[in-house]
Structure 1
Amino acid sequence: MATLLHIDSSLNGDNSVSRAVGVTFRAAWEQQHPDGTVIHRDLATDPIPHLDVVTNGAGFAPEGDRTPEQREAWARREKLIEEFETADAVLIGAPMYNWAIPSTLKAWLDHVILGGRTMGGDTVAGKPVTVIASRGGSYAPGTPNEGHDYIEPYLAWVLRDQLKTDLHCIVPELTLARSVPAMKDLIGLSDDSRDRAHEDAKNRAKTLATQLSA
């Protein structure tokens, strides 16, 4: 049975575009894998602690020499890494907050990136990862914000170039057009971008289902 690891990080609940597109992906995935498993981590409602000196130190201490606090911290990190390693596919909602990914998502990445294992090893190499990189404006070529997208390039560097996953990005843009009066003329473009994102999510889930069953 196929397992999907679904990571959400948006704070906007039912108003979140990244969550809505993720629901479309997940629905198509579950249609193809009715007996499969979905591990859903909502980092907004159940955030993961940022790396601290205890967790970091546990990685350098021999297992038998770890303190009780280090053992507890390492067990949490090990669980997150194993979820990543054993999933057949990963779905990540990554909205743009202040030109970067949410800090909760960065915390998850800090836990699952481990030298000699997920990075520099082959435990997640080739794993299909789909990122929904939503943003309130547009950072496309020719726009005033061109060159200031620090989400897709960063995640591509980390997930594709360093962890060697099979990365696919879905980018719904202009998500604030209906709530920001100054963007009212962009509502049509926003709707088009949203619709394309939902279609891309559905097609990506179906494609992965075909690949994984081959």
Structure 2
Amino acid sequence: MQILRVDSSTTGDQSVSRQITDRLLAHFTEKHPDAKVVTRDLVADPLPHIDPITTKAIRTPVETHEEAVAAAYPDQRAVLDEFLASDVVIVGAPMYNFSIPSQLKAWLDRLGVPRVTFQYGENGAEGLAGGRKVVVASSRGGEYTNEAMAENQESLLTTFFGFIGVDDLHFVRVEKTGFGPEAIEAGLKAADEQIAKL
């Protein structure tokens, strides 16, 4: 049993999404006390945005790799292997400017790998990365629910994880984080209720 925690908020101790991932990790480690816990902080240890070398390392067969691509491959593949080895994946995903942080997008770019996490067949795309629970810790400064203004955050993640075959996907959401401490406290209390049901 492995639990992977991924954080992408840049606001440190003020981060609400990190408070949610704290709570989620405590919940799942209580349920699975023998689980191995792996953490990936995309702010403390950011992944660079993909470039021609890393794209080839991620997406092309190993036997075709020239020297620079072969050198890049182990680090790129390690991100994917960490995800595939995990039974529970906790993803901290605050809404930044109506989407997700760019560092989280860089992480996702290493998970969408042809013939590994998805493939195309006669019936179109088929996800290959099912069999794990993914829980997204979503925080938003305003109150958006599922309005179009928030579409590029949660629906992006829903679409991406669904595309690679994750069918056990949950969101724990705290909104109105920009409204002050009382609103945050109320949101976290509601989040605790959601977490208890997972």
Report the TM-score range of the alignment, normalised by the length of the smaller protein. Answer: 0.7 to 0.9
User: Could you say if the C-alpha distance between residues 107 and 34 of structure 1 is closer, same or farther in structure 2, counting changes exceeding 3 Å?
Assistant: same
* 1:197 matched residue in structure 2: 191
* 1:31 matched residue in structure 2: 30
Deviations 1:61-114 (A, max 9, x none): 553442332112211121111111110111100001111100000000001111
* 2:141 matched residue in structure 1: 136
How many angstroms does 1:122 deviate by?
A: 5.2
Q: How many residues align?
A: 190
- Flag structure 2 segments of 5+ consecutive residues without an equivalent: 120-125
Deviations 1:129-167 (A, max 9, x none): 0001111001126xxxx321121111111112x012111
User: Could you say if the C-alpha distance between residues 66 and 39 of structure 1 is closer, same or farther in structure 2, counting changes exceeding 3 Å?
Assistant: same
Q: Does the 8 Å CA contact 1:84/1:124 hold for their aligned counterparts?
A: no
User: Could you say if the C-alpha distance between residues 176 and 126 of structure 1 is closer, same or farther in structure 2, counting changes exceeding 3 Å?
Assistant: same
How many angstroms does 1:6 deviate by?
A: 0.7
How many angstroms does 1:57 deviate by?
A: 2.5
Give the alignment's TM-score, normalised by structure 2: 0.88
* 2:123 matched residue in structure 1: none
* 1:211 matched residue in structure 2: none
Q: Does the 8 Å CA contact 1:135/1:174 hold for their aligned counterparts?
A: yes
* 1:156 matched residue in structure 2: 158
User: Could you say if the C-alpha distance between residues 122 and 62 of structure 1 is closer, same or farther in structure 2, counting changes exceeding 3 Å?
Assistant: closer
Larger Rg computed on CA atoms: 1
* 1:22 matched residue in structure 2: 21
How many angstroms does 1:30 deviate by?
A: 1.3
Q: What's the RMSD between the two structures over aligned residues?
A: 1.9
Superposition misfits of 4+ residues, deviation over 4 angstroms: 59-62
User: Could you say if the C-alpha distance between residues 16 and 175 of structure 1 is closer, same or farther in structure 2, counting changes exceeding 3 Å?
Assistant: same
Q: Say which structure is richer in strand.
A: 2
Give the alignment's TM-score, normalised by structure 1: 0.82
C-alpha separation in 2, matches of 1:174 and 1:26: 23
Residue identity (%): 34
* 1:82 matched residue in structure 2: 81
Deviations 1:25-45 (A, max 9, x none): 111211222221111000011
Q: Does the 8 Å CA contact 1:88/1:128 hold for their aligned counterparts?
A: yes
Q: Does the 8 Å CA contact 1:99/1:151 hold for their aligned counterparts?
A: yes
